[in-house]
Structure 1
């Protein structure tokens, strides 16, 4: 009878284990590969989902910033609209005030027109009674004012300004000295003379050759001839009025009226 020693059995068991282990490993790989691929797909899908989430989050941040910007613009527009409402209200108040003023102007116009006509009539009478200097110029000014009052294309304010301007011109005559040329009948002959007006105090004349001079008498409303002793003073006055001499004292006859 033959006896087997253990040394022979052990190697065979190991060999068989190796032999049977190889198919098991191959079978395990068959199960692991689909799992690995599935895991990779899951990871890829998760990455894509994360990318979508990041993209959506970015869009949300952008929209949020736009929303905040719009809120600020709306706040600014609200302030601007509030200011515009105040301006519109002020304009409406001003329009109402202007309408009220227009109504008042209509009333004033009806009242001021007769006043201006009376002022022009009074100015005409004043010129007719005044010393006769610049007669044609002053009469033409009054005729222009009378014609202006009949014109519809001239505003009442402009009419009033023109009337007041004419009165101002007449007032200025009383405090100025003036020399001007004109024609005057002397001894039945029309002569070219120089007139000297000293305010409304005196109105004198002198012929071009300085041989004759005279003064207007307010009481008689006539021209009176002056003797040669006044020649120097009248000549001096004419030169002062023409700004050819500095202002100086003049000795001229003055008519005294009651």
Structure 2
């Protein structure tokens, strides 16, 4: 802090200079004045120090005030942003409440549609080629059980039906073979079933003694000509992965859709 020469100091300095030339009596009379001036100087210094201290405190308070003002502005900005978020949440809640209020109505409209889908699927399975009927009918029974259960959500019922339709669709582009024991005449015969999509369904015993195809028109199994047996055997081996893929010939009837 820069010190300045106050008027009191100037007077004292001048008096000291003059006192050097005064007699002792005059100096004795001058002493009280000097003491008074010196005391005034110390008081002025203390006053100045207090002013400096107050100025420093003022600067600190100004800095603190600015910091608090910035925090206040940031808090106000955050509060405004949160108000927008809360308002958005209120709108979303109102929308969800409205949707929940319409759940029963939607369910009442959806259930008849799902039942129609199941009825159509059951009719399709019974009218289709008779392959893997146990698996396909079991799938339909699972769906029907789910439809009759109040604990199964409507979305789960819908998922089961869609998966059943997808499975039936996959059969249409699948080449598959599996063993079965069937009744031919009065005999129980082990045969290899062969499914070529929905184009043909044939079965043949490993010894080639029995070879039949399913006739859509009569819905009966009919014997195939001997010339097809080699091709059927080859097709079964290809489906089993026992030989390399090749051109497959299978007996098939014309498919008509009414």
TM-score range, shorter chain: 0.7 to 0.9
SS at match of 2:247: coil
- Superposed CA deviations along residues 128-176 of structure 1, whole A, max 9, x for unmatched, are 2211111110011000000111223322122112211211211221222
* Contact kept in structure 1, 2:235 and 2:249, CA below 8 Å: no
Q: Is 1:72 aligned to residue 78 of structure 2?
A: no
Q: Is 1:236 aligned to residue 231 of structure 2?
A: no
The Cα of 1:246 is off from its aligned counterpart by: 5.5
Query: What is the correspondence of 1:1-258 to structure 2 with a 5 Å cutoff?
Result: 25-245=23-243, 247-256=245-254, 258=256
SS at match of 2:37: helix
SS at match of 2:23: helix
Compare CA radii of gyration and give the structure with the larger one: 1
Distance change in 2, residues 1:29/1:142 (3 Å):
same
The Cα of 1:244 is off from its aligned counterpart by: 4.9
SS at match of 1:162: helix
Count of residues in correspondence between the two structures? 235
Q: Which residue of 2 aligns with 1:7?
A: none
- Superposed CA deviations along residues 72-122 of structure 1, whole A, max 9, x for unmatched, are 222222222222222221221122222222233331111111211221122
* Contact kept in structure 2, 1:179 and 1:238, CA below 8 Å: yes
SS at match of 1:152: coil
SS at match of 1:223: strand
* Contact kept in structure 2, 1:212 and 1:228, CA below 8 Å: no
Distance change in 2, residues 1:189/1:25 (3 Å):
farther
Q: Which residue of 2 aligns with 1:19?
A: none
SS at match of 1:255: coil
- Superposed CA deviations along residues 11-41 of structure 1, whole A, max 9, x for unmatched, are xxxxxxxxxxxxx833333333333333333
Q: For 1:209 and 1:39, locate their aligned partners in 2 and report how far apart those are by CA, in whole Å.
A: 140
TM-score (ref. length: structure 1): 0.81
Consecutive unaligned residues in structure 1, runs of 5 or more: 1-23
The Cα of 1:245 is off from its aligned counterpart by: 5.0
Distance change in 2, residues 1:70/1:192 (3 Å):
farther
TM-score (ref. length: structure 2): 0.81
Q: For 1:142 and 1:219, locate their aligned partners in 2 and report how far apart those are by CA, in whole Å.
A: 25
Q: For 2:89 and 2:243, locate their aligned partners in 1 and report how far apart those are by CA, in whole Å.
A: 59
Distance change in 2, residues 1:101/1:39 (3 Å):
same
The alignment's C-alpha RMSD in Å is 2.2
